[in-house]
Structure 1
Amino acid sequence: MIASTPVARWTWGRDDDSADALVRCLRDLLAAYSVLAAHRLVIGEPKVLLTVAESGTSNSHLFRGELAAAGTQGLGEADRLAREVATGLRPGEIGAVDASADCAGMLVGETEEVPQAGLFRLGASAFAGFAGTELVTFSDAWMLYDLKGRPQPALHVANAPRLSAALRELSEVLGSETDPEDSTYFGKPTETGVDNFFDDDGTASDVWTGFEIPYRNRVFHHTPGFAAGYRRSADGEVQYVPVHGEHGVLGYRAGLLWLERLSSAHEDGLAPSRALAELAGLSAEERPGTLHLTSLRELASGN
């Protein structure tokens, strides 16, 4: 399960004036990404969001933009990106440098590896002789129980050791002990992974219902509440139908109407595939398209 806010967070920090802040920040980010990539916890080449603040000011930036890294191994790519950024810097003295990358990765299921968007967010910063790195996960795959409190021993056994090994190697690569940050609404980070919360009777807490659903209802306050209905996430392929209007594929406001229609279809007892076909007005010969959920999200975002 993927939460809207962090499930767990770890940080590393050290005093380091071996290079300028821009180079230190990018080196640490790509070094950490390389460790995660070795365990397939992240996949693909990172898209790095970089901000270079002007020294002595709180809201002035010398650079802010996205960088496409051509690789993560060694110091060469970090140094190349630093030179690229340096050519586009506004005049001024460099202050704090912050870089981050949202990461998709592979989760090991019972029979196969499955790509999962939004698995981690990796960040690095450098300022005044100090370098820091942060890793945030939004997934419960490393936990013995999922966010609804249901046991998931197979998923835990397959994925928790991967995260544990990566945390250990990150400590070595970054030259700093792994520091588990404070507990979140969903879990308690440790030096080797994430622990669940438990109720007074010893059962794993249903933090999904307690925190994730209320959070989503606050964010999507114009939409029907996230109550009982069709699942809003899936493993493997999903069926989809583009909804077109006069000016192309419809967006947010049409989405609200469709959520209401799907809620009514669920109350009427329709299976998800039948509800999709009926609401889209498909004939018996037509079938909804199928895509993996990650690919469908990329299609919807225009990537």
Structure 2
Amino acid sequence: MRTPAETAEELAGEVRAALRPGAVGGVSADVACTGTVAGVEGETRQENLFRLGAHAAADFVSVEMTTSTDVWMPYDLKGRPQPAVHQANAPRLAAALRDLEKALESETEPDDPTHFGKPTETGVENRREPDGTPSDVWSRFEIPSRTEVFRHAPAFRPGYRRTADGDVQYVPIRSEHGVLGYLWASDADSAASFEPRVAADEEGRRVGLAWLDHLAAAYDRGLSPSRALVELTGPATPPATLALTSLRELARED
């Protein structure tokens, strides 16, 4: 097994080999770190638990660590208390930050708050409402971000519109876990898309992206939105009709 020094020297060699002629303006690198987190069901392995990045310029060097989980906070991103999860994981993050300070011989400088949390010298705190209650930043920021792709078609790619003004035909898309979302179409607006259920979380989004690909293929074949809906879902599931605004409200129900 290689030592850390050998690994560092190998990386430095790759950087030197990739250098172009001329003065070096700056060098940046980052690495995705896998780790384990403690949950209500025990330890779980999580990909991209941290991302560690470094930037070096002629007179400045910085190291940045970001995280993609809320287990370090007293409340989850929906504002729900998670005392056991926080107690099990927050000390780990604090210890990691201390180790970085020691290795880099530098103090931790918390970055600016994001939509999801407020970095501190020892971890991350929840965003809070004016009355002090923890914010449901998941519904406020993450869900709109995740659904944007289903509501706005790419600007430079032909296809069905992904929004409609009135009623649409729709079919529920199910798995063994229940309804993941709704495939819908409107000939009047030349529109068709997928509306993922909020409760379906990442599975609903992943399945929805696959349905967008199917709709794109149907558009390329010249199918009308309603014809694409029937062909993709089959005659055994006749579409229902609902205003798109109401369908989106239905998708948000827990």
Aligning the two structures, in what range does the TM-score lie when normalised by the shorter sequence?
A: 0.5 to 0.7
Specify the SS of the correspondent of 2:127: coil
SS in 2 for 1:87: helix
Q: Which residue of 2 aligns with 1:300?
A: none
CA distance in 2, matches of 1:228, 1:111: 23
Residue 111 of structure 2 is matched in structure 1 by: 181
Matches within 5 A, 1:147-186: 147-186=77-116
- Structure 2 counterpart SS, 1:179: coil
Q: Secondary structure at the match of 1:205?
A: coil
Shift of 1:109: 1.9
Deviations 1:154-191 (A, max 9, x none): 11111100001111111111111100011100111110
Shift in alpha-carbon separation, 1:168–1:255, aligned structure 2, 3 A: farther
Once the two structures are superposed, residues 101-146 of structure 1 have per-residue CA deviations (whole angstroms, 9 ceiling, x without a partner) of 1222211123421111232211001111321100011210100000
How far, CA to CA, are the matches of 1:113 and 1:78 in structure 2?
30
Could you tell me how far apart the structure 2 residues matched to 1:173 and 1:159 are?
21
TM-score (norm 2): 0.61
The answer on whether the counterparts of 1:213 and 1:226 sit within 8 Å (CA) in structure 2 is no
- Please tell me the residue identity of whatever aligns with 1:110: V
Indicate conservation of the 8 Å contact 1:147/1:186, yes or no.
yes
Kept in 2: contact 1:98–1:125 (CA 8 A): yes
User: 2:80, 2:50 → 1: CA distance?
Assistant: 22
Give the Cα–Cα distance (whole angstroms) in 2 for the partners of residues 127 and 85 of structure 1: 14
Tell whether the 8 Å contact from 1:106 to 1:114 is kept in structure 2 after alignment.
yes
**Equivalence for 2:213:** 253
DSSP 3-state at the match of 2:202: coil
Identity of paired residues, percent? 47
C-alpha distance in 1, partners of 2:215/2:123? 37
Q: Residue 194 of structure 2 contacts residue 211 of structure 2 at CA under 8 Å; is this kept in 1?
A: no
**Corresponding letter in the other structure for 1:183:** P
Structure 1 Cα separation of the partners of residues 19 and 211 of structure 2: 37
2:79–2:135 contact (8 Å) kept in structure 1? yes
Q: Distance in 2 between matches of 1:151 and 1:229?
A: 19
Which residue, 224, 248, 254 being the options, matches 2:194?
A: 224
The CA distance in 2 between the partners of 1:174 and 1:133, in whole Å, is: 9
Q: Which residue of 1 aligns with 2:243?
A: none
Segments of 5+ residues of structure 2 without an aligned counterpart are 154-192, 217-227, 241-254
CA 1:233–1:201 in 2, change beyond 3 Å: closer, same or farther?
Answer: farther
Alpha-carbon RMSD: 3.2
Q: Distance in 2 between matches of 1:255 and 1:207?
A: 31
TM-score (norm 1): 0.52
Unaligned runs of 5+ in 1: 1-69, 235-239, 242-249, 269-303
Does the Cα contact within 8 Å between 1:216 and 1:226 map onto a contact in 2? Answer: no
Q: Flag the 1:253–1:118 CA change in 2: closer, same or farther, 3 A.
A: same
Larger radius of gyration: 2
SS at match of 2:91: helix
**Cα distance, 1:126–1:162 mapped onto 2, change above 3 Å:** same
Residue 112 in structure 1 maps to residue 82 in structure 2: no
Name the structure 2 match of 1:204: 134
Question: Per-residue displacement from partner, 1:62-121 (whole Å, max 9, x unpaired)?
Answer: xxxxxxxx86x5333112221233234333332201001122221112342111123221
Alignment partner, residue 18 of structure 1:
none
Residue 272 of structure 1 corresponds to which residue in structure 2? none
Which residue identity lines up with residue 10 of structure 2 in the other structure?
R
Q: Deviations over 1:236-259 (max 9, x none)?
A: xxxx99xxxxxxxx785138999x
Write the distance in 2 (CA, Å) between the matches of 1:97 and 1:110.
41
- Structure 1 229/83 Cα, relative in aligned 2: closer, same or farther at 3 Å? closer
Larger proportion of helix: 2
Query: Could you list the runs of 4 or more consecutive aligned residues of structure 1 that deviate by over 6 angstroms after TM superposition?
Result: 255-258
Amino acid at match of 1:78: A
- 1:252–1:225 Cα change, 3 Å: closer
